[in-house]
Chain A
Amino acid sequence: MIQIENLKKTYPGKVPTPALKGVSFKINEGEFVAIMGRSGSGKSTLLHQLGLIDTPTEGTIRIGNFEVTALSDAEKTKFRLQQLGYIFQEYALITELTAQENVWLPALAYGKDPEHCWEHAAKLLDLVGLGHRLDHYPNEISGGEQQRVAIARALINSPKVLFADEPTANLDSASAKTVLELFRKLNRELKQTVVMVTHEPDDRRYVDRVVWISDGLIEKIEKVE
């Protein structure tokens, strides 16, 4: 499903900073994978490359049949819209849109039937437990609820892979549990491939495998029983 070969990322500057120093691994379809490591280990950098919101310095990434590192900027944008879902640590909702509009927007941009997708957005919000918050704006709901809106948004175009960058970092423990259980439900019931960056050791119990990153390299890949 996802194949990463010798992925490197160096941030330019007076003193170039290597964040990834040659990472290679595979993620299978329907897997729930966590990328873990200490702060500054390169795990978020890795997810940015996989989610196509940053460009690696070297190496290749294949998602499905596409070598996405070879795509143009416009093609990457289209790929993100149609094939990927991305969830940020800080919710990253559009403040001027209601929960339902936030979820609906990527479907509108995709060109799908707007009315059908409007209903689908409502169903997804219902799926993440926010059926009663459709018309609420982001500043009218809690952080945990905002993150669940972001998850629903990431799902609207039925992505091949769902990427989540420390999705529970800003949440209280109850909200974090809700979000993680939601990911597991999506993974188990809908066979949704999920790749999540987390620094919480307890999160291991929700995933199939853990890719441990240390100093820009894979330290180990752990299968969770």
Chain B
Amino acid sequence: MKPGEELPPLTIPITRTLIVAGAVASRDYQDVHHDAELAREKGSPDIFMNILTTNGLVGRYITDHFGPGAVLRRVAIRLGAPNYPGDTMTLSGTVTDVAGDTATVRVVGANDLGHHVTGTVTVTVEVAR
């Protein structure tokens, strides 16, 4: 674990089921996350992923990589292009800073439209004793 290290990418198919399941699991019942017709009325071509799901997926990407001992300390994300059903998001990450057992990782999630999410995650990892 050192600055510059790149995490293997994680590709996530953006299914309608994932969008709806993520919205409901995060208790977000905004219609744009489950009702395509109402989403269109609001100017969106389809339903789109809510920010809580993106947050959860970014967190999962980091802990998947750093393993069972990994603990998230901070997750800061900014959304760009929406995640619509049928798209694919590829998460990639670069370690930007390491201090003791704590790493900071720059994360980008890209879909066909561009960057869905950019963010920074601080994670504590279990160090071998």
Q: Do A and B come from one complex?
A: no
